[in-house]
Amino acid sequence: MTASTLKMKTLSIVRKQIFIPIAALLILVVFNLIADPSFFKITYSLSSDGSPILSGYLITILDNASELAILAIGMTLVTAASGGQDISVGAAIAISGSVVLRVLCGDNPRPEEMQASILTAFLISCLVSMLFGAFNGTLVAYFNIQPMIATLILYTAGRSIAAWINNNRLPIISDPSFGYFGTFFPGIPIPTPIFIAVLCMLIIALVLKFTTLGLYTQAVGINPNSAKLNGINPQLVKFITYVIMGLCVAVAGFIKVTRFSTINYSVVAADIEMDAILAVALGGNVLSGGRFNMAASILGAYVIQFLTTTLFKFNVSSAALPAYKAVVVIVLVVLSAPAVREKIGKLRKKITASRLGKEAV
């Protein structure tokens, strides 16, 4: 292989969209390797009730990023189709979690046994979340309201609705089998949320591969009018992406509520919408809609969690965490901004040109 083809190959990799999150991930990995290699140690131990569990920072990252990765799926579709973001996901998670608890607990906030099966509760919360998604979708698709503004409504009301669902109480479920979904199934050493997240990714991969959803969302996002001329109903496509977002929210909310077997609707999943949008942006997707790369978005979600866990490891207090996160985010987006890339490219050309010039002399 000659040098020029090698150069071309590296260039084509660098130009690929998924390069941004991978590079960010690599930087974080290298940083951690240098700072403290024990970051990557995974230990195998027995939990208090005797079942085997794996623990370590990597497992923590994979575990805690599950909700974000699932939300990133919905957010990517919403962004691609409607050219805007759903900022109500945090509030919607509060709603879906509250619905699960309401169905399981009934009127009693401290029930001895669950009033319904977990599956029923989950399905009902899916239905409710999809209804709220449909509400957002209607506003965006049929009333032509900008997504961020339309979802501002649910963002404002969501946590209040969640409080209202449970009569302002915080129910707790004592049945341990409920907690299996958010922690460990007995006998399986890997946290359950990881399985749920992988399952969601598999489903969306299959859907994108075997249906026209991906093609239609991109077509609508790039130009709704020409999509319409090609026989696609842009309003319906936008609407559907918001309903899918609702489904993602229900799954994420289910994980959140099973982690602690309860929910504090005023703080649960606070600011998660910002992280989800960040995941989409870190994946190199244009926030104004059009083409998208699902794998890059999901990877973006893991990058964010990796960063958060790394910062926690270095004893950054959780309140000061956002400041460091902001600096990293700004550096990442500035480096990946087209204007900056162009400038760097020009600079490199100049340097090589001057070097060549010197050689010629």
Give the residues lining the site for another protein (CB under 8 A).
85, 139, 143-146, 148-150, 152-157, 159-161, 163-164, 168, 274, 277-278, 281, 286-288, 317, 319-327, 329-330, 333-334, 337-340
Closer of 115 and 138 to another protein (Cβ): 138
Minimum CB separation of residue 166 from another protein in Å reads: 11
Longest CA span, the chain: 88
Closer of 22 and 287 to another protein (Cβ): 287
Minimum CB separation of residue 307 from another protein in Å reads: 12
Closer of 58 and 157 to another protein (Cβ): 157
Q: d(Cα 91, Cα 270) in Å, to the nearest integer? A: 8
Q: d(Cα 75, Cα 94) in Å, to the nearest integer? A: 17
Q: d(Cα 215, Cα 291) in Å, to the nearest integer? A: 9
| E strand or H helix that includes residue 153 | helix 147-165
Closer of 33 and 330 to another protein (Cβ): 330
Whole-number Cα distances in Å, 128 to 35, 95, 271, 348? 46, 8, 21, 54
Closer of 64 and 151 to another protein (Cβ): 151
Minimum CB separation of residue 79 from another protein in Å reads: 10
Residue 294 CB contacts under 8 Å (≥ 6 apart), including other chains: 73, 76, 204, 205, 208, 214
Q: d(Cα 92, Cα 253) in Å, to the nearest integer? A: 8
Minimum CB separation of residue 202 from another protein in Å reads: 29
Q: d(Cα 254, Cα 118) in Å, to the nearest integer? A: 10
Minimum CB separation of residue 60 from another protein in Å reads: 21
17 phi and psi angles, rounded to 5 deg: -65, -40
Minimum CB separation of residue 152 from another protein in Å reads: 6
Minimum CB separation of residue 274 from another protein in Å reads: 6
Closer of 190 and 270 to another protein (Cβ): 270
Closer of 40 and 164 to another protein (Cβ): 164
Closest CA to 70 of 195, 216, 238: 195
Going along the chain, which residue ranges are E strands?
A: 43-46, 52-55
Query: 117, 186 in Cβ contact below 8 A?
Result: no
Q: d(Cα 231, Cα 229) in Å, to the nearest integer? A: 5
